[in-house]
Structure 1
Amino acid sequence: MKNTIKNILMIFFPFFLVSCGSQNRKGFKAKEIYKSNTLIITRISENSFIHTSFKQTNDFGNVPCNGLIVKDHHEAVVFDTPTNDKSSEELIQWINEELGAKINAVIPTHFHDDSLGGLMAFHKKKIPSYSYVKTIELARENNFVIPENSFDDAVVLKVGDKDVIAKFFGEGHTKDNAVGYFPGENILFGGCLLKEIEAGKGYLGDANISAWSNTVEKVKKEYPDVKIVVPGHGDYGDGKLLDYTITLFKGQQ
């Protein structure tokens, strides 16, 4: 009997180790790794982090606003600034000191202050900024801080040995909303173009609601291997956020 049990264990124990190992490699447990009154940073993968700052609004209260940090080796790229210069200074310091990374670029994905409200803090640190050409036009029209470098369709930047992409697919939340993609980890930063599951339509003052679904369908087609999707507000998830946003604005006029 003892020999029988021993033989069974010899057969299944290696399988058990392999199974657990596979689960550990595949699963990454997100963890909040920094928190102050004005800034929260959450690690969502090996080399990607959501930064969350806050914007006080009349219609929606104190709104958490997401951006994304991607890192490779000792370099980082930031999508969207925190909502103001103070929070942006805090974020820059954290990336430099805690991540030990030099920020190669900041990429505001549209002209609202939950995307570029803290841009001056990056410029003061000589960190170059890149935005879709329409974002620069709208920032100038509204007397906001203007991103330094423009792209017509897309831009590919380097972070360490990896590529980082920012691309405009069409109008939706605004006329200029671009998205960011980190192919190394199949992470999409949708910004305010994408909604968290069960979210409402949010602020529509600058929106093109009739184009919104079609724009997101283009994003979905471009990045079929996406694993993590980060919206401008609320919880991150997977490709279901794309489907939810498409459905939310389908057939709108």
Structure 2
Amino acid sequence: MKVKEILFPIFLIFFIGARSQNSTHTNYESEHLKIQKLTGHTYVHISYLETQDYGKVPCNGMIVIDGGQALVVDTPTNDVASAELINWLGNQKGVAVKAVVATHFHDDCLGGLHVFHKRGIPSYAYQKTIDLAKQADLAVPQNAFDSDVALTVGQKELKCGFIGEGHTKDNIVCYYPNEKVLFGGCLIKSEGAGKGYLGDANLHEWSNTVESLKHKYPDVEVVIPGHGNTGGMGLLDYTIQMFKE
């Protein structure tokens, strides 16, 4: 697997608030994967990307479970962690993974996609993500959408869509309105984090995109960034200020 090097420091500080990862319950933990419950039906999965400069970097993804089904947002970073995630959902939660969504074309979103495909789990991504994954010779999601898609899990919906460019030209977000949980991915920075890898970024539009996101989903209560601790709407404000010109 071709691993895209992510050259950035992760500066994590304790985020005070009832919704931070530090106050969540860890449901599963191994050398390769950690799963923590956030709300009644949502979880964050944390896997690790090996980098030359910063060692083992934790990377976040999201799980939504309802009605005996699960949706996964971003694969874990590798095949081993992805297999562990799928097995845990089946064996411990008794649910079938209905689909996986990639939020952009980097390896912290697509690194374990082959495992999902081998298990017969369909994958979805923004058309631009599919195009960029092909260009980079990475695993390619199967199903494209033009700007947004609503995927059902049980009787609920997970809304995923492109708001604008920022971390990459193709970064999307996913929102679970039933519990007001937003997966911002690498578009959103955790409290205390630096700017991170900017090799594919649009620095001119990043703040504008997050401003648009804030207006689109004003009721958000829980925000999951691509790396680091979860928080609230303050993470959007933190990111906006960081990239404001």
Same-fold call, TM cutoff 0.5: yes
How big is the shift at 1:60?
2.7
Secondary structure of residue in 1 paired with 2:35:
strand
- The answer on 1:190 being equivalent to 2:184 is yes
> Which consecutive aligned stretches of 4+ in structure 1 deviate over 6 angstroms post-superposition?
none
Q: Which amino acid aligns with 1:227?
A: E
- The answer on 1:220 being equivalent to 2:214 is yes
- The answer on 1:166 being equivalent to 2:166 is no
Question: 1:215 and 1:58 mapped to 2: Cα distance?
Answer: 30
Secondary structure of residue in 1 paired with 2:103:
coil
- The answer on 1:137 being equivalent to 2:109 is no
Question: Could you state the TM-score of these two structures normalised by the residue count of structure 1?
Answer: 0.87
Larger radius of gyration: 1
Question: Could you state the TM-score of these two structures normalised by the residue count of structure 2?
Answer: 0.90
Aligned residues: CA RMSD: 1.0
What does residue 121 of structure 2 align with? 127
Q: Which amino acid aligns with 1:229?
A: V
Q: 5+ residue gaps in structure 2?
A: 1-17
What does residue 169 of structure 2 align with? 175
Give the structure, 1 or 2, with the largest relative contact order (CA under 8 Å, sep 6 or more): 2
Q: 5+ residue gaps in structure 1?
A: 1-26
Q: Which amino acid aligns with 1:204?
A: L
Question: 2:39 and 2:92 mapped to 1: Cα distance?
Answer: 16
Identical-pair percentage: 53
How big is the shift at 1:121?
0.3
Aligned residues: 225
Higher helix share: 1
Secondary structure of residue in 2 paired with 1:59:
coil
Output one character per residue of 1:212-251: Cα deviation in whole Å (capped at 9) or x when no partner: 0001111111100001000000000000000000000000
Secondary structure of residue in 2 paired with 1:209:
coil
What does residue 48 of structure 2 align with? 54
- Give 1:34-183 correspondences, 5 Å limit: 34-183=28-177
Q: Which amino acid aligns with 1:116?
A: L
